[in-house]
């Protein structure tokens, strides 16, 4: 007798905060009832939740597939009420698409303090087409094979640990792509890759040593692009930035191995690119190619550190 293959068809679970026309009234209840591979469709409304995504699911808001700058119509607003992360992702193979994510903050240092928090054990995560605003940090990025694309990431400046970055990472990552996002008015800069735990940063072959980072085609308004430490093989390319603060457009910290900066349009700020510490900056095979700078940035960018 032939043994038939067990094929489970992924389900679509529906959520509506009002309870009309849907099975669930909270996103967490739908996640809890889901199986790996399911899609959770969320209707417009206000969801004051701290959703723990511990299944491999697609979370689809009413603006799914619509770039954050083009959202038009009803929003599913996931509000952390300044008491935790609206989304904490602990499973791999997760997509969060088409939401407004706000008020992710937590005064407890050991708790996620961001709009979307990714555990370092996760892989294959897509954070796309969202508006992420008014959190301590917009997205806490750790893990492998992460796509952050088409989002508006703005006004992330609530008080808390690692506060003020649009995107922050300090536990290890690999193959992170940050593309086609709009960053505006995040308190301490758009993107921060901080110093890693010593067990990772000491091993240049560790794939979680922020390897293969790509930051491309993003726009940055009234904000510096970011600060980067412990990067192994990365590219920052074809971004557009106008800064009005008194910081460098791009800051390179310690432990960076192989970083290309090319084709960017950077203006404002005190420097275009700043490398901190002659013995801690770019090492072994790094390449700098100057993008377009306005006259003031050229003058201030290369007064110290590396001159391309």
Assess whether pLDDT exceeds 70 at residue 15. yes
Break the chain down into helix, strand, coil percent, rounded to 5: 5, 40, 50
Same domain, 70 and 107: yes
Show the domain range for 229. 189-308
Residue 122 lies in a domain: yes
Tell me the average pLDDT across 127-132.
98
Same domain, 26 and 175: yes
Name the nearest CA neighbour of 124 among 212, 57, 172, 192. Answer: 57
Domain boundary among 157, 182, 207: 182
Residue 2 lies in a domain: no
Pick the range with the lowest mean pLDDT from 29-43, 204-218, 261-275. 261-275
Same domain, 139 and 285: no
Across 44-70, b (16+ Cβ under 10 Å) vs e yields bbebebbbbbebbbbbbbbbbebbbee
Within 10 Å of residue 268's Cβ, how many Cβ atoms?
Answer: 20
Same domain, 78 and 203: no
Q: What is the pLDDT of residue 252?
A: 83
Domain boundary among 153, 182, 211: 182
How many distinct structural domains can be found in the chain? 2
Same domain, 268 and 140: no
> Which letter does DSSP use for residue 105 in this model?
B
The enclosing domain of 134 has a CATH number of 2.160.20.10
Q: Rounded CA gap, 239 and 227, in Å?
A: 15
Same domain, 44 and 147: yes
Q: How confident is the model at residue 125 (pLDDT cuts 50, 70, 90)?
A: very high
The answer to whether 45 touches 62, Cβ cutoff 8 Å, is no
Q: Rounded CA gap, 121 and 182, in Å?
A: 27
Q: Which residues have a Cβ under 8 Å from the Cβ of 205 and sit 6 or more positions away?
A: none
Residue 254 lies in a domain: yes
Token pair for 67 = 């770039």
Q: What is the pLDDT of residue 130?
A: 98
Tell me the average pLDDT across 132-160.
93
Q: Which residue has the higher pLDDT, 202 or 306?
A: 202
Domain boundary among 163, 182, 201: 182
Q: Rounded CA gap, 211 and 233, in Å?
A: 6
Same domain, 174 and 193: no
Pairing relationship of beta strands 287-288 and 143-149 according to DSSP bridges: unpaired
Name the nearest CA neighbour of 77 among 102, 59, 106, 60. Answer: 102
Same domain, 232 and 103: no
Mean pLDDT for the chain?
Answer: 84
The answer to whether 190 touches 228, Cβ cutoff 8 Å, is no
Q: Rounded CA gap, 140 and 120, in Å?
A: 10
Same domain, 196 and 126: no
Q: What is the pLDDT of residue 291?
A: 41
Residue 1 lies in a domain: no
Tell me the average pLDDT across 158-179.
87
Determine the 3-state secondary structure of 200 from DSSP.
helix
Same domain, 176 and 246: no
Same domain, 71 and 118: yes
Q: Which residues pair with 243 in a beta bridge?
A: 268
Q: How confident is the model at residue 3 (pLDDT cuts 50, 70, 90)?
A: low
Assess whether pLDDT exceeds 80 at residue 195. yes
Q: What is the pLDDT of residue 112?
A: 61
Assess whether pLDDT exceeds 50 at residue 132. yes
Q: Which residues have a Cβ under 8 Å from the Cβ of 267 and sit 6 or more positions away?
A: 241, 242, 243, 293, 294, 296, 297
In this prediction the pTM is: 0.88
Residue 3 lies in a domain: no
Q: Which residues pair with 183 in a beta bridge?
A: 153, 220
Q: What is the pLDDT of residue 246?
A: 63
Same domain, 252 and 195: yes
């Amino acid at each position: 007798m032939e043994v038939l293959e067990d094929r489970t068809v992924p389900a679509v679970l529906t959520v509506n905060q009002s309870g009309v026309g849907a099975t669930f009234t909270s996103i967490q209840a739908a996640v809890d009832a889901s199986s790996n591979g399911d899609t959770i469709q969320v209707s417009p409304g206000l969801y004051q939740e701290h959703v723990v995504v511990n299944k491999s699911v697609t979370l689809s808001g009413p603006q799914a597939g619509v770039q954050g700058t083009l959202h038009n119509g009803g929003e599913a607003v996931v509000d952390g009420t300044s008491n935790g992360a609206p989304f904490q992702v602990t499973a791999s193979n997760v997509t969060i698409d088409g939401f407004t994510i706000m008020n992710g903050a937590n005064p407890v240092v050991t708790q996620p303090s961001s709009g979307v928090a990714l555990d370092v054990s996760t892989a294959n995560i897509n954070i796309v087409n969202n508006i992420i605003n008014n959190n301590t940090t917009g997205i806490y990025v750790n893990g492998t094979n992460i796509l952050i694309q088409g989002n508006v990431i703005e006004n992330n400046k609530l008080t808390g640990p690692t506060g003020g970055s649009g995107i922050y990472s300090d536990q290890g990552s690999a193959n992170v792509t940050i593309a086609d996002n709009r960053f505006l008015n995040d308190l301490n800069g758009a993107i921060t890759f901080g110093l890693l735990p010593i067990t990772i940063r000491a091993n240049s072959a560790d794939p979680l040593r922020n390897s293969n980072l790509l930051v491309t085609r993003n726009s940055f308004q009234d904000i510096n692009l970011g600060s980067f430490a412990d990067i192994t093989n990365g590219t920052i390319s074809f971004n557009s930035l106008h800064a009005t603060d008194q910081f460098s457009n791009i800051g390179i910290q310690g432990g960076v191995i192989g970083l290309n900066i090319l084709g960017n349009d950077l203006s404002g700020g005190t420097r275009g690119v700043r490398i901190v510490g002659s013995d801690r900056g770019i090492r072994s095979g790094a390449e700098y190619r100057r993008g377009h700078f306005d006259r003031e940035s050229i003058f201030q960018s290369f007064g110290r550190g590396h001159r391309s």
